[in-house]
Amino acid sequence: MTAFKLLVDKPVTLEMTGKFVAPSAEWIHLSRILQDYELIVMTEGVLYLAGDNQQFVVSKGEYLLLPPLTRQYGTKSSDCSFYWLHFQAAGGAQTTDLPPQTSGQEEYVIHLPQYGTLRNAEKLIVMMKQLQDSVRSYNQTALSNYMSTVILCELYNQTLHTGADPFKRTKQEQLYHDIVDYIKWSRSEHIKVSQIAAYFGYNEKYLSHLFTVISGISLKQYILQQKMELAKFLLTDTNQNVSEVSQQLGYKDCHNFMKSFKKIVGLTPTEFRNAYAKRLLFYE
């Protein structure tokens, strides 16, 4: 797999960032030669894009990283939206294979696969929105550069273990990952621990204990945390009001949602939204 080796002992240099929304279903990405790295994180739809002679199909929850001097062009109509980040970085050696993922990796070096699926797309998108708010609110070069570097380090950590061999996992670890995936796809519903236990055919007490031992937090707390991660994304990336967000997360009572959000995040939903209100939105 193609990957890029970046040095992060010093912050990368932010060039531009923003969110793009296709103006119509017929929109096709422009043709150009990149002068810097571009990170694309998809929020809706599918982007059909080529880098030199390689064609990519990037869907919601996926990302694409293209290096400087890449000839970038759309290959077909793309009704989509995505966050993008242009930056300069030291290192930049392109490799054909990712290095072994061990604890002995070089300090201050990250290897980013060119394309992949994010383990927590909402978290990365919220961070990119916070960067945009910072650019508009303060426009301080050092702050923007460090925030961009944190985003790349988060991307690195989200892709760090995706290549693990599933056949080497223990039965308990596989069950844990299956539960995590189940919660991820059911966050908009009213999920209970008993419901998860019944779905996987295990005793509720055993499943809760297993999850706590592996993750370090209770299953009930993890469900709540994942709901609030989705809530932060909806508050950041959409114009839905708090009541609509509450309903989308499966809450029948908006007050209970606001209470849970404040407990986990430390801010009310409105306070969180207002803290990062200055999005950089592009339509071309």
Number of domains in the chain: 2
- Statement to judge: residues 135 and 11 lie in one domain: yes
- Domain annotation covers residue 113: yes
Average pLDDT, rounded, for the chain: 89
3-state secondary structure of 89: coil
- Statement to judge: residues 154 and 170 lie in one domain: no
- Statement to judge: residues 80 and 190 lie in one domain: no
> Domain range spanning residue 96?
3-159
- Domain annotation covers residue 281: no
Which pTM was predicted?
Answer: 0.79
Q: Output phi, psi for 168, to 5 deg.
A: -90, -5
Last residue of a domain, one of 159, 194, 224: 159
The pair of structure tokens assigned to 170 is 């223990």
- Statement to judge: residues 112 and 189 lie in one domain: no
Q: Output phi, psi for 92, to 5 deg.
A: 80, 15
Instruction: Note the pLDDT tens digit of each residue in 142-188.
Output: 999 999 999 999 999 998 855 444 444 578 888 998 999 999 888 88
- Statement to judge: residues 134 and 53 lie in one domain: yes
- Statement to judge: residues 172 and 69 lie in one domain: no
Give the 3-state secondary structure percentages of the chain, helix then strand then coil, rounded to 5. Answer: 40, 25, 35
Instruction: Note the pLDDT tens digit of each residue in 68-120.
Output: 999 999 999 999 999 999 999 976 666 656 665 544 457 889 999 999 999 88
User: What CA dihedral angle connects 244, 249, 250 and 252, to 10 degrees?
Assistant: -40
Please choose, from the candidates 223, 150, 152, the residue with its C-alpha nearest in 3D space to the C-alpha of residue 189: 223
